[in-house]
Every structure is written in C-alpha cells, then in structure tokens.
C-alpha cells in the first residue's frame, strides 16, 4: 500500500515566517506554485500560505504586503500528515480540513507536500472524481 512519502513532492521550498508578503508573492511566482509552507527560524512548519491568502487576508483588507509578514497570516496549528501515513489517511485529512495541499512531516521535519492532484494521480481513475469532490466540498 502506498504511503504519503511515495507520492509527495520532496524538499519543498519554504517562505520564512519573517519574510514579507511581497517576498512570498515573488517566490510563489518564481516557483510557479499557488502555496508555500511557512517555516520558522527553527525550520519548523508554522503554517501554509497561498496566493489567495495574500489577496484576501492582506490586500482586500487594505493591508500592506511590503510590511505584512508570512508569519502574520499563519493561523493555528498546521494540518499535516506523517510521511508513512496511508494515502487513504491523507485523503481523509484533506477532506476533513478542506485543504488541497498537505505538508508531510517526518518527526518534526517538513519533508514534502502532497497536493490534491498527487492523490488523484495515485488512485485508480474510478476514485479520482470522488477524491476531488471530497476535498472540494464547501
């Protein structure tokens, strides 16, 4: 049975919790991704930052992306999965928390990211639609 580490994107690039949203936006653009893990100076995961977060939680509120840091947008304990957890567990966590990207942790270390598309590719084609639907329910 496949586990999270089998399908994850390894060694994800982090945005530092003290980096500004302008720096984060440039990193998102440079990497051509829609989300990045937010990591602290201790290299521990502090949260996830999406391009949508920058727009909705900063720009739309009249915030200044040049002075707002990524860490200021990190909310609560990040939703994660263990590197050796099953794909079924990853899907369950994504659906329960309505997240499309799931940081993969080994001990206290961030070792990868699983996206909704990774799980869809790993499952039989019959299950793909159900997977997307379960994660995307509102």
Q: Cα dihedral angle (129, 133, 134, 137), rounded to 10 degrees?
A: 180
Give yes or no for a contact between 55 and 61, defined as CB atoms under 8 angstroms apart: no
- Please, which pLDDT band fits residue 24 given cuts at 50, 70 and 90? very high
Name residues whose C-beta falls within 8 Å of residue 37's C-beta, 6 or more positions apart in sequence.
12, 14, 15, 45, 47, 48, 49, 78, 103, 110, 113
Domains of the chain: 4-136 (3.10.580.10)
pLDDT tens-place string over residues 82-134: 999 998 899 899 989 989 999 999 988 999 999 988 888 887 766 656 666 66
**107 in the Ramachandran plot: left (φ > 0), alpha (ψ -120 to 50) or beta?**
left
Give per-residue burial for 123-133: e unless 16+ CB within 10 Å, then b: beeeeeeebee
CA nearest to 37, candidates 120, 117, 135, 109 = 109
Read off the pTM. Answer: 0.85
Instruction: Tell me how far apart the alpha carbons of residues 137 and 108 are, in angstroms, rounded to a whole number.
Output: 30
Q: How many CB atoms lie within 10 A of CB 89?
A: 14
């Amino acid at each position: 049975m496949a586990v999270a580490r089998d399908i994850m994107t390894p060694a994800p690039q982090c945005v530092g919790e003290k980096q500004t949203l302008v720096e984060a936006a440039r990193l998102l653009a440079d990497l051509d991704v829609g989300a990045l893990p937010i990591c602290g100076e201790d290299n521990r995961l502090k949260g996830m930052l999406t391009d949508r977060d920058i727009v909705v939680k900063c720009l739309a509120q009249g915030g200044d992306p040049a002075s707002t840091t990524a860490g200021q947008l990190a909310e609560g304990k990040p939703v994660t999965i263990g590197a050796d957890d099953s794909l079924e567990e990853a899907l369950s966590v994504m659906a329960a928390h309505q997240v499309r990207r799931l940081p993969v942790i080994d001990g206290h270390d961030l070792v990868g990211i699983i996206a909704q598309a990774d799980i869809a590719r790993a499952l039989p084609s019959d299950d793909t639609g159900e997977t997307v639907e379960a994660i995307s329910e509102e």
